[in-house]
Structure 1
Amino acid sequence: MKNVIIVGATGATGSQLMQQLLNDVTVENIYVVHYRPTPFVHQNKVTEIIIDLANFNDLNIEAEIDFAYCCLGTTRKKAGSLAAFRQVDKDYIVNFGSWVANNTKAQLHVISAVGANTKSVSSYLQTKGETEQLLRQLPLTALYLYQPTLLHGKRDEFRLMEAFAYYPLAILSLFPVPLLKQQKPIGIDQLANSMYQLSQQVTSGYHVISSLEIQQY
Structure 2
Amino acid sequence: MKNVIIMGATGATGSLLMQQLLNDINIAQIYVVHYRTTPFKQNEKVTEIVIDLAELPHLNIDADIDCAYCCLGTTRKKAGSLAAFRQVDKDYIVNFGKWIANHSTAQLHVISAVGANAKSPSSYLQTKGETELLLRQLPLAALFLYQPTLLHGKRDEFRLMEALAYYPLSVLSLLPLPLLKQQKPIAIEQLANAMYQLSQQVTSGHHIISSLEIQQY
Give the match's secondary structure for 2:6: strand
User: Is residue 9 of structure 2 the alignment partner of residue 22 of structure 1?
Assistant: no
- Count of matched residue positions in the alignment of Structure 1 and Structure 2: 217
8 Å CA contact 2:57, 2:96 repeated in 1: no
- Give the whole-Å Cα distance in 2 for the aligned partners of 1:182 and 1:38: 34
| Counterpart residue type for residue 41 of structure 2 | V
Give the match's secondary structure for 1:54: helix
| Counterpart residue type for residue 66 of structure 2 | D
Aligned partner of 1:151 in structure 2 is 151
Aligned partner of 1:129 in structure 2 is 129
- Give the whole-Å Cα distance in 2 for the aligned partners of 1:72 and 1:33: 10
Residue 56 of structure 1: CA displacement? 1.2
Q: What are the equivalent positions in structure 2 for 1:42-191 lying under 5 Å apart?
A: 42-191=42-191
With normalisation by structure 2, the TM-score equals: 0.99
Gap runs ≥5 in structure 1: none
8 Å CA contact 1:51, 1:58 repeated in 2: no
Gap runs ≥5 in structure 2: none
| Counterpart residue type for residue 139 of structure 2 | P
Where does structure 1 differ by over 3 angstroms across 4 or more consecutive aligned residues? none
8 Å CA contact 1:70, 1:108 repeated in 2: yes
Give the match's secondary structure for 2:53: coil
Residue 58 of structure 1: CA displacement? 1.9
Give the match's secondary structure for 2:31: strand
Residue 57 of structure 1: CA displacement? 2.1
| Counterpart residue type for residue 167 of structure 1 | Y
8 Å CA contact 1:4, 1:65 repeated in 2: yes
With normalisation by structure 1, the TM-score equals: 0.99
- Give the whole-Å Cα distance in 1 for the aligned partners of 2:90 and 2:162: 22
8 Å CA contact 1:16, 1:192 repeated in 2: yes
Aligned partner of 2:8 in structure 1 is 8
| Counterpart residue type for residue 195 of structure 1 | M
Aligned partner of 2:213 in structure 1 is 213
Identity %: 82
